[in-house]
C-alpha cells in the first residue's frame, strides 16, 4: 500500500457485542468515533505511519475524537521505546516547545471528512486543528442516507469557511487525493 501511495479510508463499524450493556447506548453513537480514534492512535503507536509514510488517510466522522484529543494522541509517538524519536528531539518537542510536534504533524497530515460531523462546533474543531485543506466532504452514505442534505446545509450555513474553503472541502481536496478524477 505504501509503495502504491494509496489513500486509505478509515470508517468504524458497529463493534461486535456491546461495550457496556447497562448504558443501553447504541455503539454507533459513542464507540464508533472512538473506534476511529483507537485505529489512528494504533497506527502512530505501532510505527505504521513511520514505516508507511506515503499512505494518505481519510478519517470518517471528523476523525472521531482526534481533533479534541490530538495532543494526547500525539504523545503516543514518544512513548514506545523501539520507535520513539531521539532524546534530543523529545527534549526539544516536549520540554522546549511544550508540544508533541512529530505526532501532531502525523495527525495534521491526515484528512477528516464531514460525515455525521457537520455541526458548527465539530466544523470549528476540525478547522482549528487541520484547516480547510485537510477537510473533505463526507455524508456517511449509504449508512445514513438522510444525512446528506443536512451536511450540505450545515457546510453552507457555517460562517467560518470562505467560498474558497468550501470549494476545497467539497471537491478540490479530493481531487488532490485522487488526481485521476480530474477531467
Asked if the structure places residue 158 within a domain, the reply is yes
- Full domain range(s) for residue 76: 7-181
Asked if residue 139 is part of any domain, the answer here is: yes
Q: What is the pLDDT of residue 16?
A: 65
- On whether residue 29 sits in a domain, the answer given is yes
CA torsion 168-173-179-180 (nearest 10°) is -90
The verdict on residue 2 lying in a domain is no
Q: Is residue 169 scored above 70 in pLDDT?
A: yes
Instruction: For 105-144, write each residue's pLDDT tens digit.
Output: 999 999 999 998 999 999 999 999 999 999 999 988 776 7
Higher pLDDT, 29 or 4: 4
Question: Tens digit of pLDDT for each residue in 88-112?
Answer: 777 777 777 787 888 999 999 999 9
Residue 1 inside a domain? The answer is: no
- Banded pLDDT at 81 (limits 50, 70, 90): low
Question: What is the rounded average pLDDT for all residues in the chain?
Answer: 89
What's phi and psi for 156, nearest 5 deg? Answer: -65, -35
Q: Indicate whether 45 belongs to any domain.
A: yes
73 inside domain: yes
Q: Is residue 173 part of a domain?
A: yes
Tell me, yes or no, if the pTM score tops 0.85.
yes
Measure the CA–CA gap between 67 and 174, rounded to whole angstroms: 20
Q: How far apart are CA 7 and CA 89, in angstroms?
A: 29
Count: domains in the chain: 1
For residue 2, the model assigns a pLDDT of 97
Edge to edge, the sheet with strand 111-113 lists 7-10, 56-59, 111-113, 135-136
- Find the CATH number of the domain harbouring 120: 3.20.20.140
User: What pLDDT sits at residue 68?
Assistant: 95
Amino acid at each position: 500500500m505504501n509503495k502504491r501511495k494509496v489513500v486509505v479510508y478509515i470508517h468504524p463499524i458497529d463493534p461486535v457485542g456491546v461495550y457496556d450493556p447497562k448504558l443501553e447506548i447504541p455503539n454507533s453513537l459513542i464507540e464508533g468515533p472512538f473506534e476511529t480514534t483507537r485505529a489512528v492512535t494504533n497506527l502512530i503507536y505501532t510505527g505504521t505511519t513511520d514505516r508507511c509514510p506515503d499512505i494518505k488517510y481519510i478519517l470518517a466522522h471528523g476523525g472521531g475524537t482526534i481533533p479534541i484529543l490530538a495532543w494526547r494522541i500525539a504523545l503516543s509517538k514518544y512513548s514506545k521505546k523501539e520507535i520513539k524519536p531521539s532524546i534530543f528531539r523529545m527534549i526539544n518537542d516536549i520540554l522546549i516547545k511544550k508540544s508533541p510536534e512529530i505526532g501532531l504533524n502525523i495527525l495534521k497530515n491526515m484528512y477528516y471528512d464531514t460525515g455525521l460531523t457537520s455541526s458548527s462546533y465539530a466544523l470549528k474543531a476540525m478547522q482549528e486543528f487541520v484547516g480547510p485543506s485537510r477537510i473533505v466532504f463526507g455524508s456517511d452514505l449509504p449508512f445514513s442516507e438522510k444525512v446528506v442534505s443536512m451536511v450540505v446545509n450545515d457546510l453552507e450555513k457555517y460562517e467560518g469557511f470562505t467560498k474558497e474553503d468550501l470549494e476545497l472541502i467539497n471537491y478540490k481536496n479530493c481531487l488532490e487525493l485522487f488526481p485521476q478524477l480530474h477531467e
